[in-house]
Amino acid sequence: MNTSFLCEVAQTFGTPVYVYDEAKIVENYQRLKHAFGKQDVKLHYALKALNNTTVLKTLRNQGAGLDAVSIEEVFLGLRAGFEAHEIMYTPNGVSFEEICEAVDLGVMVNIDNLSILEKFGARYGANVPVCVRINPHIMAGGHAHISVGHIDSKFGISIHQLRHITRLVTHYNLNIVGLHMHTGSDIIDADVFIQGAELLYQAAASFPNLEFMDFGSGFKVAYKEGDIVTPIEQIGKKIGASFQAFCKEYGHELELWFEPGKFLVSESGTLLVSVNVVKQTTSTVFIGVNSGQNHLIRPMFYNAYHHIENCSNTDGEQKLYSVVGYICETDTFGYDRLISEVREGDVLAIRNAGAYGFSMSNQYNARLRPAEVLVRDGKAHLIRRRETLEDIYRNEVEIVEVEQLV
């Protein structure tokens, strides 16, 4: 989305506003879908990245399923038109009651804890097929910086507890139809990734009823020029081939699943903000914008880099700035950024804000969450209204003093 178009969007819908390019979401979905050579893959979109119903419908039209991490996300998916069987529910640390609720809805449950697996076995036995989340503990050295399911992770059942899993399976007659791993780390190197996959292939020998394997996500996207990204096609072909070899050995074809979040929606999104103040201090020039960590927390929370452009003055002289939010915290979007000369009132575009942007936003400082806009066929459509003050106190309850009877 070019800067003059974004200026128009800012004018029409006001700022701050999240703008998503639908075509980019579709392009990335199709790219990933076809990256695995002859091996077909099923993509379950991890909706925690961006859960606007219109975006969910876009991905559903492409053929995606969903990966939900809470029962509320399951309900959002159902509401958007996904069938229960198209949803995988991968919670961590939730109550057994919530898991039962998901079973009642008919979604596939992915269990990442032995105590829950035992309860599940006692309650459902062979009646409800289930998936288990394995932590393979692969640590890659060198420059790969991949720590796949490290030892301190709270996620998954350790691969070293495989024997305990099979004990529960035998005793409760559990029907394990899927093995899952999601490391949360970036996949950059196919060989490292395949090392993790191979541990799952070996584990598969203990589960004769498998129907799918789910390798989670970790598809890295570029946030700035020169960033290492996942070479999807290259990695995909290797993983596809390794999976086909595994299926041959296993004895029948399994489905290969992934759960991309960031890869599908990050690049599509831009957060548009307006410049409130240009403030020269002794150390830098601060650009103060009408947004902050309440709307996009990734720079502050993960030290994430988001490219920033001045839409209102694209040909201006490049100058060095620190772009900060209006929250009473040190909420810096970017230090020492070269941006074409910024004036008060200009509109800035904060790029790659589609994933974990709006979905992690909050109302700190009693600020309203921004509007969301989707660009479809070159036209901008409002897909979520900006909040109003009432949204901030809506659920408050006043204490009503009952008059004392004497």
Ligand X SMILES: *Cc1c(COP(=O)(O)O)cnc(C)c1O
Residues that bind ligand X (CB under 6 A): 46, 48-49, 67, 69, 90, 182, 216-217, 219, 259-263, 355
What is the DSSP secondary-structure string of 179-246?
Answer: EE----S-B--HHHHHHHHHHHHHHHTT-TT--EEE----B---SSTT-----HHHHHHHHHHHHHHH
Q: Which residues pair with 214 in a beta bridge?
A: 180, 257
| Nearest to ligand X of 187, 339 (CB atom) | 187
Q: Between 21 and 309, name the residue whose CB sits nearer to ligand X.
A: 21
Query: Residues 223, 225, 227, CA angle at the centre, nearest 5°?
Result: 65
Closest CB to ligand X belongs to which residue? Answer: 261
CB of 46 or CB of 200, closer to ligand X: 46
Q: Vertex 18, ends 56 and 389: CA angle to 5°?
A: 100
Phi-psi region of 234 (alpha: psi -120 to 50; beta: other; left: phi over 0): alpha
Q: What is the smallest separation between the CB atom of 122 and ligand X, expressed in angstroms?
A: 25
Residue 176 bridge partners (DSSP) = 130
- Give me the active site residues, please: 328
**Cβ proximity to ligand X, 278 vs 360, nearer residue:** 360
Q: Using the minimum distance from each CB to ligand X, give the nearer residue, 219 or 321.
A: 219
Cα distance between residue 272 and residue 290, in whole Å? 9
- Does residue 3 contact residue 309 with C-beta atoms inside 8 Å? yes
Place of tokens 């076995």: 121
> Using DSSP, how many helices (H) and how many strands (E) does the chain show?
12, 20
Residue with smaller CB distance to ligand X, 217 or 291: 217
Q: CA–CA separation, 333 vs 320, rounded Å?
A: 14
Q: Which amino acid is at 364?
A: Y
Q: Tell me the pairing of strands 308-310 and 347-351.
A: antiparallel
Pairing of the two strands 371-376 and 379-384: antiparallel
Least distance (Å) between residue 219 CB and ligand X: 6
Residue 75 CA to residue 168 CA, distance in Å, equals 30
